[in-house]
Amino acid sequence: MTKSETLAQITLIEAQIKDLTAQRDELRIDAVTNGWAMWETTIRWNAPNLAWWKEHKPKAWQSYATQSTVKKFKVNA
């Protein structure tokens, strides 16, 4: 495969991924609207190398920790 063929293939695949992602997002919205699924939101703590901070400076790690919200698609049983 030549350079131009490889780059063309990458461009094609990226376009397909973009289209499929859009389709998935629309289907997820429909599933949530119909009550077949839901968005589960959790809060996650992010800290630089948490194990090291807790071992060496257990009181200081919280000043470097940040909260982030994670949204997960969950199918209703």
What pLDDT digit, counting tens, does each position of 43-65 carry?
987 777 778 877 887 777 777 77
Domain, as residue range, for 49: 36-77
Does 30 share its domain with 2? yes
Report the pLDDT value the prediction gives residue 4, as an integer from 0 to 100.
96
Count structural domains, the chain: 2
Q: Do both 40 and 10 map to the same domain?
A: no
Structure tokens at 73: 């698609």
Per-residue pLDDT of the chain (77 residues; tens, 9 = 90+): 899 999 999 999 999 999 999 999 999 999 999 999 999 999 987 777 778 877 887 777 777 778 899 999 999 97
Residue 30 sits in the same domain as residue 46? no
Q: Does residue 41 sit in the same domain as residue 20?
A: no
> Has this prediction a pTM greater than 0.85?
no
Q: Name beta bridge partners: 75.
A: 37
- 49 vs 67: CA distance, rounded Å: 15
Co-location of 23 and 52 in the same domain: no
Mean pLDDT, rounded, of the chain: 90
The pLDDT value recorded for residue 24 is 97
Q: Are residues 44 and 64 in the same domain?
A: yes
Q: How does DSSP assign 15-68, residue by residue?
A: HHHHHHHHHHHHHHHHHHHTTSEEEEEEEEEE-TTHHHHHHH-TTTHHHH-EEE
* 69 lies in the same domain as 55: yes
The answer on 45 and 22 residing in a single domain is no
